[in-house]
């Protein structure tokens, strides 16, 4: 699996977590959310490991002993991350789901509707 580097925002604050995972960013976000009073949202994800480089660049903004950073200008952080990654960020929803990620049971109502339409169309 590819290592993904993510930047997660805590609520409406200027606190951002710069981390990495080999698993789903959505699952990682859910794990982090259990220990946070603020609603966490995914700001940006890169499909490569640039965590160490970002940690070094923002050492002075880091909250001691954590992977959380006080970032005044998120646009600057995003631009720097894109430069380090030499790539565009991945498409990702606020809850960390990639476009193809969904639950299998979400397809059941759609399939039922399709079968119903085929049945009705067969009556005529």
- DSSP states of 71-97 as a string? -S-HHHHHHHHHHHHTSPPPP--TTS-
| C-alpha span between 83 and 68 (Å, rounded) | 21
Q: Which domain holds residue 13?
A: 4-123
Q: Which residue has the tokens 């200008």?
A: 73
pLDDT string in tens for the chain (124-residue length): 689 999 999 999 999 999 999 988 888 989 998 888 899 999 889 989 999 999 999 999 999 999 899 999 999 998 999 999 887 777 666 666 665 454 444 555 555 656 556 666 776 6
**pTM beyond 0.85:** no
| C-alpha span between 54 and 4 (Å, rounded) | 13
Distances (CA, A) of 40 to 36, 47, 53, 65, 90: 8, 20, 23, 19, 18
Q: How many structural domains are present in the chain?
A: 1
Q: Are 8 and 43 in contact (CB under 8 A)?
A: yes
């Amino acid at each position: 699996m590819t290592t993904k580097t993510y930047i997660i925002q805590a609520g409406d604050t200027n606190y951002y977590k710069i981390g990495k995972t080999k698993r789903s960013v959505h699952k990682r976000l859910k794990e982090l959310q259990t220990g946070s009073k603020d609603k966490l949202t995914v700001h940006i994800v890169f499909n490569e490991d640039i965590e160490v480089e970002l940690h070094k660049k923002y050492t002075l903004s880091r909250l001691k002993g954590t992977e959380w950073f006080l970032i005044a200008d998120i646009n600057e952080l995003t631009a720097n991350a894109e430069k380090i990654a030499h790539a565009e960020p991945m498409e990702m929803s606020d809850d960390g789901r990639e476009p193809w990620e969904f639950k299998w049971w979400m397809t059941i109502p759609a399939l039922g509707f399709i079968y119903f339409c085929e049945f009705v169309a067969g009556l005529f």
